[in-house]
């Protein structure tokens, strides 16, 4: 089965898989191809966001020649990615959180 991924700058990536392939494998493919970390990726298909990475293509209702739209996740407090955890964060009350470095 062939999946089309529409990238951030209108590039189209082709991902060959089967119906048992997981969404996390798709995110790994994009990470290697584009250099965008998995935690920053979000896929949209049919006006719905695909949140669960452990679902398979079949469970996510992704069929042959489906097009997924790659979007960036917003980052900040509670994000959990390494990039955000290393930066000091500014809260609404003006106090700063400590970085993990």
Contacts of 29 (CB under 8 A, 6+ apart): 13, 15
* pTM of the predicted structure, to 2 decimals: 0.70
Q: Tokens 């509670």 belong to which residue?
A: 78
Query: Is residue 82 one of the residues assigned to a domain?
Result: no
What is the count of structural domains for the chain?
1
pLDDT, position 79: 59
Query: Is residue 62 one of the residues assigned to a domain?
Result: yes
pLDDT, position 69: 93
Consecutive 10-residue averages of pLDDT for the chain (101 residues): 89 92 92 86 89 90 92 66 56 50 42
pLDDT, position 16: 93
Tokens of 16: 């060959």
How do 12-16 and 2-6 pair as beta strands? antiparallel
Q: What is the DSSP string of 25-36?
A: HHHHHHHHHH--
Query: Is residue 90 one of the residues assigned to a domain?
Result: no
Tokens of 22: 């997981």
Instruction: Give yes or no for a contact between 7 and 13, defined as CB atoms under 8 angstroms apart.
Output: yes
């Amino acid at each position: 089965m062939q999946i089309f991924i529409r990238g951030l700058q209108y590039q189209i990536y082709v991902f060959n898989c089967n119906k048992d392939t997981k969404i996390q494998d798709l995110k790994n493919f994009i990470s290697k191809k584009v250099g965008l970390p998995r935690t920053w990726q979000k896929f949209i298909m049919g006006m719905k966001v695909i949140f669960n990475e452990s679902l398979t293509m079949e469970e996510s209702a992704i069929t042959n020649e489906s097009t997924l739209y790659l979007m960036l996740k917003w980052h900040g407090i509670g994000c959990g990615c390494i990039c955000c955890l290393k930066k000091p964060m500014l809260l609404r009350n003006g106090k700063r959180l400590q970085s993990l470095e």
